[in-house]
Amino acid sequence: MIGNWLDIGPVNQIEPGMARTLPVEGGEEIAVFHTMTGDFYALVNKCPHKQGPLSQGIVHGAVVACPLHNWNISLKTGEALGGDEGCVPTIPLKVDAGRIYLLRSAVLGEKPKPEAA
Amino acid sequence: MNAPVSFDQEKARETGRERLVVIGNGMAGCRAVEELLERDPDRYSVTIFGAEPRVNYNRIMLSPVLAGEKTFEEIVINGQDWYDDNAITLVSGDPVEHVDCANKSVISASGRVEPYDRLIFATGSDPFIIPVPGKDLPGVVTFRDLDDVDRMLGAAEKGGDAVVIGGGLLGLEAAHGLSLRGMNVTVIHLMPTLMERQLDEAAGWLLKEELERRGQTILTSADTEAILEKDGHVAGVKLKDGREIPADIVVMAVGIRPNVTLAKTAGMEVERGIVVDDHMVTSDPAVLAVGECVQHRGACYGLVAPLWEMCRALADGLTDRPSGYQGSVTSTKLKVSGIDLFSAGDFSGSDGSEDIVMRDAARGVYKRVVVQDSKVIGAVLYGDTADGNWYFDLLKKGEDISDIREALIFGQAYASGGALADPNAAVAALSDDAEICGCNGVSKGKVVACIDAGAHSVDAVRSTCKASASCGSCTNLVESLLAITLGEDVESGPKTMCKCTSFTHSDVRRLILEKELKEIPQVMQELHWTTPDGCSSCRPALNYYLLCAWPGEYVDDQKSRFVNERLHANIQKDGTYSVVPRMWGGLTNPKELRAIADAAEKYQARTVKVTGGQRIDLFGIRKEDLPAIWADLNAAGMVSGHAYGKALRTVKTCVGSEWCRFGTQDSTGLGVKIERMTWGSWMPHKFKIAVSGCPRNCAEATIKDFGVVCVDSGYELHVGGNGGIKVRATDLLCKVETEEEALTTCAAFIQLYREEAHYLERTAPWIERVGLDYVKSRMFDEADAVAKFAARFRISQKYSQIDPWAQRAGGDRKDLHTHLGEVRPLQMEDAL
Ligand code: SRM
Ligand SMILES: Cc1cc2nc3c(=O)[nH]c(=O)nc-3n(C[C@H](O)[C@H](O)[C@H](O)COP(=O)(O)OP(=O)(O)OC[C@H]3O[C@@H](n4cnc5c(N)ncnc54)[C@H](O)[C@@H]3O)c2cc1C
Ligand code: SF4
Ligand code: FES
C-alpha cells in the first residue's frame, strides 16, 4: 500500500520560477511548477490553445505564459486568463517535509480510489 | 416534521447531473451559480429558491433606484432568460422553510419539496431593528430589498418628513435618496462621527458639512428612545435628550445580522453567521454557504467584494479543483453623487502606527494614510479618491513603502516618480488583479481583456464585462484603461514598459545606470513594480537591460528568458526544437556537412532545410537530445547559430572579389570577420548583417540591420534595414576606406543600438523613432565616439562569446534538458 500520493522527489530539483516535466507512460506529460514565491503546482503539460508545452513558459506570479503564443495560464486553476478561453487539467500536489507529492489517481488520469482498496 | 419526499433518484441518474439547490436568489446565490456554470456547465442541475418575488438583481443599486438615477430593470443582473438558457429552475416568492439534512431535501412555504445532492445557503442578512417602543408601527421601514424601496417611494410621493436612524453607509444613501425625492430628511446617528467605522473624525466632519449644505439635518451623538405614533401610523422620533423630530416615515438602517435562522434549525454549526471552512462548506459536508450569511475564520462581511471571492472558492470546490477562500480585506465607497469618499483598512491608529495626512482646504480634499512597519494599513480619502485603489492595493499586498514614503500621500503618479502629469499612469500601474469595479467585482485584467476583445467604448465595456455599469464611480478608471489599451490618448503620457510599472523603457534603462541596479528583483523593488515578480514581457527586457549595462558582472537569469533563448534552440509547434549551427559568412565544408548529416540521422531530424540566412536547419529534435546533438556538432568545430536569439543571427555574404567577375572587395572574407566579431552578442532584438561585393548587392545588404556594400573605393555602411513584416531599406550611415574601419564602425553601431534601443525594437523602428541624424550625431559628433562605442562592444563580447551549446554539452543546467522522472503506471500498480 503506497497511499494516494506519488512522491516525485525533493523540492530543490526545480529552481524557483521554473518548471520541469514528468512523462507518464500511456498518459499525459505533467509539468511541475515552482513559483518565485515558493509555491508548487502541477498541470498537464499542454496548453489549452494548441498544446504548447507549458513547462517551457515564463512563470510570473502563479501564472505561466505559454511559449508558443503567449497565452497566460493560471497555475492554480489551469484556466486561460485575460479573455482567452480554455482550461488545462491541474494535478493536486502537496509538499511534505521537502518532497513533492502528486495525487496518484490524477497522475494516472483515473477517478480517485478509496484509501483502503 | 415527517420525513418527506419521493426522491427522484432515477431522474438524476438519467440526466447524469447532481442536484444543486440554492436558498437565496440574491447576489451571492446567483453569482455562485454563474461561477459554477463558467467552470462546468453540465455538472449540476440547479434549482434556486428566492423569498423575493423577482429575478436576481444588484442589491447595492437599490440606492440609485431610490435616488431616481436607475430603474429596477437597469439593475437586474440576470433576467428570466438567464435561468431559462441555463436550465435553472427559479422558485421565486417562495421561501424555503425547512431543511432536512438527513434526507437531503428542502421544503418551501408553499410545500414544494426539492431533493438535493448539494445545498447552498445564500440567505444574506436581515436588517437589525433597534428594540424601541413603536418599532413595529406602519411607516417604519428598513432598507434591504425592492419592497423597502417601494415603501419609501410611496412615502416620498406624499412629501413631508423622513427620519433615517443610522448614519452609516446604508443610512446615508437612504437619506440621500429621500432627500432627492423631495423629503425633508433628518439623520440620527448614535456616534459622534458619521460612518465612524469607515471614516475618521476629519473626514466624517467634511461629510457632515457637505450633507448639511445639501439641506439634510444631521444629528450625531443622538440616541433614539422611542418611535412616536399618531393615528396608528408613525409620527416622529423621540431622542433620549428629549428632542422630538417629526416623521412621516422612519428608516431603520443601523446594521445587519446574518440570516441564519433556517441553517440553525437545520442543525448546521452557527455562531454569528453560518460557520464555513475555506471551501465554503458548513458543518454538513453536503451543505455549503456563501455571502453575508456566513462566518469565515471568525469574520462576517457586509459588502459585495468578499462575496465574489467566496463564490470563486465555492465553485472551485464544487468542480473538484479546490482553491480556498482566504478571507478579504474590504474597502468602502459611498454612493452619493458628488461626494467622493474612500476608506479601507484600519485607521484607528495604534501604538506603532504613523499618520500621513494631507489637506487641501480650497479643494475640500482630505487624505490620510496610516502606515505601520513600512506598510499601508489604512487609508481615508475625502474629496479626491483617485488613488483609493492604489492605496488599497498597497494595503492588500502589504507592500514595503519605505522608498516612496515621502511621496506616498501625493498619490501614485508622484510616488512612482514617473509621468507626473499623466493620470493614466496611475491606472496603468495598477496590477492586473486590482479591482476597478467594486460593484460588479471586475478586475483591471478583465476590463483590459474585454477592451482587447473589441470593446472600444465605455458603453461596450459596460455591456460586456459590467465594469462601471452599476454605480459608475469607476468610469474614469475605465476611460483611462481604454486610453491606455487603445492608445487613443497618446499625448497624455509615454507608453509604459508594461503593466507592471509606470516607467517607460527609456526611464528604466536610465535608472538602472543611475541607481546602479544590478538584479531583477532590485529593479522591481527600487522602481516599485506593481507585480511581485513582473510578467512575461518585462522580465526578458530587464534581463537584457541588466546584461547590457553590467557586462561580466550580471548573471543571466534563465527564468527570465523566453524558451528559445533558455534552450538555445527554436521551439516548434509540436514542442520539439530546431537546431541551426553557425556557418560563418555562409561558408561550409565537407567535414561540417558530414557532421550535420550524421547528426540529422542520429537524432532523427525529420526535416533538413537550408534557411533564408545561408545555413542549415535541423528540425524535430527533442529537448532531451539537444546537449548530445550539440556535442556532436561541437566536435566538428561548429557552434550555436543563435537562430533563436535576440542576438546576432547571420552574416549573409556573396562570393565577392574572390570569384565574381564584378566583385570589388573580399565580401565573403569581410563577412566572416564581422561574424567572428559579433557572434554571441545579445541585442534588443535579432540583428542581421550582410556584405555584398558590389552594388548589385546579391547579399541583400540594404534590408539588413547592418549592411556593407563594397565599392572600388572602399565600403558603404548601411543601417536600419528590415525585410520582415514591414520592409524598410537601409539608410546610408557613412563610407569608409578600410576593412578595419568597417569592422569598428559596425561594432560601434551595434553597441549604440544595444545601449539605447527598447527591448524588442529592431534597428528599423528604432531609427524611425530616434532619427538617422541622431544616430549619426551620437557616432560622429565627437571624434572618438566610434572608438569608445566599439571598445565597449568588445568588452561585452569577451563575456558573450562563449558557445552556449558547448556549455550545455558539458553538463551545464542539466535540469533544463531532463525530466524529473517518468511514471510507468504498470509498475506502480504492481507495487500496490
Ligand atoms: C528558419 C527561417 C526560415 C527558413 O526556413 O529559411 C526562419 C524561421 C523563423 N523566423 Fe524568420 N526565418 C528565417 C529567415 C528570415 C528572414 C530572411 C533573412 O534573414 O535573410 C527574414 C526577413 C529578414 C529580416 O529579418 O529582416 C525573417 C523574418 C522574420 C520575422 C520578421 C522580423 C521583422 O522584423 O519583421 C520574424 C518574426 C519575429 O522575429 O518576431 C521571424 C521569425 C521566425 C521564427 C523564429 C518564428 C518563431 O518565432 O518561431 C521562425 C522559426 C525558425 C526555426 O524554428 O528555426 N522571421 N526570417 C530562416 C532562418 C534564418 C537563419 O538562418 O537564421
Ligand atoms: C441599499 C444597499 C446598498 C448597498 N450598497 C453596497 C455597496 O455600495 N457596496 C457593497 O459592497 N455592498 C453594498 N451593499 C451590501 C450588499 O448588497 C450585500 O453585501 C450583498 O447583497 C450580499 O449578498 P447575499 O447574496 O449574501 O445577500 P442578498 O443579496 O441579500 O441575498 C439573499 C437573498 O436570499 C433571500 N432569502 C433569505 N432567506 C431565504 C429563504 N429562506 N428562502 C429563499 N430565499 C431566502 C433573500 O430574500 C435575498 O433575496 C448594499 C446593500 C444595500 C441593501
Ligand atoms: S515565414 Fe512565417 S511560417 Fe515561415 S518560418 Fe517565418 S515565421 Fe514561420
Ligand atoms: S499553444 Fe499555448 S498559446 Fe498557443
Mean pLDDT of chain B: 89
Instruction: Tell me the ligand closest to B473's alpha carbon.
Output: 2
Closest by alpha carbon to B283, among B99, B114, B101? B101
Most confident of A51-60, B365-374, B438-447: A51-60
- Residue B424 is placed in which grid cell? 493614466
Per-residue DSSP letter, B350: -
Q: In CATH, what number is assigned to the domain containing residue B698?
A: 3.30.413.10
Q: What is the reported pLDDT for B266?
A: 94
Domains and CATH numbers, chain A: 5-107 (2.102.10.10)
Do B393 and B431 touch, CB atoms closer than 8 A?
A: yes
Residue B684: pLDDT over 70: yes
Q: What is the reported pLDDT for A42?
A: 97
Cell 446617528 belongs to which residue?
Answer: B189
Residues B483 and B498 in one domain: yes
Cβ contacts (< 8 Å) between B575 and chain A: which residues?
51-53, 56
Q: Regarding beta strands B577-579 and B570-571, do their DSSP bridges make them parallel or antiparallel, or are they unpaired?
A: antiparallel
Most confident of A29-43, B4-18, B422-436, B657-671: B657-671
Q: Do A32 and B828 touch (CB under 8 A)?
A: no
How far apart (Å, rounded) are the C-alpha atoms in residues B45 and B117? 10
Ordered DSSP codes for B698-764: TT-GGGSSEEEEEETTEEEEEE--B-SSS-BPPEEEEEESSHHHHHHHHHHHHHHHHHHSPTT--HH
Considering the domain boundaries, does residue B812 fall inside one? Answer: no
Question: Residues B20-63: pLDDT tens digits?
Answer: 999 999 999 999 999 999 999 999 999 999 999 999 999 999 99
Residues B210 and B248 in one domain: yes
Rounded to 5°, angle at Cα B341 from B336 and B346: 135
Per-residue DSSP letter, A91: E
Question: Residues B589-646: pLDDT tens digits?
Answer: 999 999 999 999 999 999 999 999 999 999 999 999 999 999 999 999 999 999 999 9
Cβ contacts (< 8 Å) between B446 and chain A: which residues?
82-83
How far apart (Å, rounded) are the C-alpha atoms in residues B409 and B211? 26
Residues B465 and B337 in one domain: no
Cβ contacts (< 8 Å) between A22 and chain B: which residues?
819-823
Residues B592 and B578 in one domain: yes
Residues B671 and B796 in one domain: yes
Q: What is the reported pLDDT for B428?
A: 79
Cβ contacts (< 8 Å) between A107 and chain B: which residues?
823
Q: What is the reported pLDDT for B11?
A: 46
How many domains does the structure of chain B reveal? 6
Q: Residues B450-473: what's their mean pLDDT? A: 73
Q: Do B533 and A37 touch (CB under 8 A)?
A: yes
Q: Quickly count helices (H) and strands (E) in chain B.
A: 29, 38
Considering the domain boundaries, does residue B130 fall inside one? Answer: no
Of A22, A81, A82, the CB nearest to B821: A22
Q: What is the reported pLDDT for B488?
A: 53
Q: Do A104 and B536 touch (CB under 8 A)?
A: no
Give the model's confidence band at B830: pLDDT under 50 very low, under 70 low, under 90 confident, else very high.
very low
Residues B232 and B294 in one domain: no
For ligand 1, whether the C-beta of B649 sits within 6 Å is yes
Residue B478: pLDDT over 90: no
Q: What is the reported pLDDT for B30?
A: 97
Q: In CATH, what number is assigned to the domain containing residue B590?
A: 3.90.480.10
Q: Which of B30, B123, B164 to mutate to test the pocket of ligand 2 (most atoms within 8 A of CB)?
A: B123
Question: Residues B729-754: pLDDT tens digits?
Answer: 999 999 999 999 999 999 999 999 99
> What region does A3 belong to: left with phi over 0, alpha with psi -120 to 50, or beta?
left
Give the model's confidence band at B8: pLDDT under 50 very low, under 70 low, under 90 confident, else very high.
very low
Q: Do A78 and B316 touch (CB under 8 A)?
A: no
How far apart (Å, rounded) are the C-alpha atoms in residues B322 and A90? 11
Ligand 4 nearest atom to the CA of residue A54, by list position:
2
Closest by alpha carbon to B384, among B408, B402, B359? B359
Residues B583 and B539 in one domain: no
Question: Residues B227-271: pLDDT tens digits?
Answer: 999 999 999 999 999 999 999 999 999 999 999 999 999 999 999
Q: Can you tell me the ipTM of this complex?
A: 0.70
Residues B496 and B515 in one domain: yes
Report, in angstroms and rounded to the nearest whole number, the Rg of chain A calculated over CA atoms.
14
Q: In CATH, what number is assigned to the domain containing residue B391?
A: 3.30.390.30
For ligand 1, whether the C-beta of B730 sits within 6 Å is no
> What is the whole-number distance in angstroms between the Cα of residue B618 and the centre of ligand 1?
15
* CA distance to partner chain A, nearest, from residue B493 (Å): 24
B674 compared with B419, residue with greater pLDDT: B674
Rounded to 5°, angle at Cα B677 from B675 and B682: 85
Q: Which of B286, B318, B350 is a domain's end point? A: B318
Question: Residues B542-566: pLDDT tens digits?
Answer: 999 999 999 999 999 999 999 999 9
Q: Residue B679: what are its φ and ψ, rounded to 5°?
A: -65, 150
Q: What is the pTM of this model?
A: 0.53
Question: Residues B265-316: pLDDT tens digits?
Answer: 999 999 999 999 999 999 999 999 999 999 999 889 999 989 999 999 999 9
Q: Do B532 and A56 touch (CB under 8 A)?
A: no
Q: Which of B34, B58, B59 to mutate to test the pocket of ligand 2 (most atoms within 8 A of CB)?
A: B59
pLDDT above 90 coverage of chain B, percent: 68
Cβ contacts (< 8 Å) between A53 and chain B: which residues?
571, 575
How far apart (Å, rounded) are the C-alpha atoms in residues B740 and B753? 20
Considering the domain boundaries, does residue B809 fall inside one? Answer: no
Residue of B nearest to A112 (CA): B320
Considering the domain boundaries, does residue B380 fall inside one? Answer: yes
- Residue B679 is placed in which grid cell? 557572434
Ordered DSSP codes for B83-97: HHHTTPEEEET--EE
List all residues whose CB is within 6 A of at least one atom of ligand 2.
B 23-29, 49-52, 59-60, 62-63, 95-96, 122-124, 143-144, 170, 173, 259, 262, 291-293, 302-305, 307, 335
Do B120 and B20 touch, CB atoms closer than 8 A?
A: yes
Q: Residues B689-694: what's their mean pLDDT? A: 97
Residues B673 and B795 in one domain: yes
Query: Sheet holding A58-60: strands in order across?
Result: A58-60, A63-65, A72-74
For ligand 4, whether the C-beta of A95 sits within 6 Å is no
Residue of A nearest to B566 (CA): A56
Considering the domain boundaries, does residue B515 fall inside one? Answer: yes
Q: What is the reported pLDDT for B501?
A: 72
Question: Residues B178-218: pLDDT tens digits?
Answer: 999 999 999 999 888 898 878 877 788 889 989 999 999 99
Q: Which domain holds residue B386?
A: 331-421
Q: What is the reported pLDDT for B416?
A: 65
Q: Which of B235, B254, B273 is a domain's end point? A: B254
> What is the whole-number distance in angstroms between the Cα of residue B316 and the centre of ligand 4?
24
Considering the domain boundaries, does residue B454 fall inside one? Answer: yes
Query: How many A/B residue pairs have CB atoms within 8 Å?
Result: 119
Sorted by sequence, the CB contacts under 8 Å of residue B808 that are 6+ apart come out as B568, B626, B627, B630, B816, B817
Question: Residues B768-789: pLDDT tens digits?
Answer: 999 999 999 999 999 999 999 9
Cell 570577420 belongs to which residue?
Answer: B673
How far apart (Å, rounded) are the C-alpha atoms in residues A74 and B596? 40
Cell 499625448 belongs to which residue?
Answer: B491
Considering the domain boundaries, does residue B362 fall inside one? Answer: yes
Residues B668 and B793 in one domain: yes
Residues B266 and B117 in one domain: yes
Cβ contacts (< 8 Å) between B320 and chain A: which residues?
none
Considering the domain boundaries, does residue B652 fall inside one? Answer: no
Q: What is the reported pLDDT for B284?
A: 96
Residue of A nearest to B453 (CA): A83
- Letter for the amino acid at B301? Y
Residues B480 and B600 in one domain: no
Q: Which of B398, B421, B444 is a domain's end point? A: B421
Torsion, Cα B124 B130 B131 B133, to 10 degrees, reads -130
A83 touches chain B (CB under 8 A): yes
Q: In CATH, what number is assigned to the domain containing residue B245?
A: 3.50.50.60
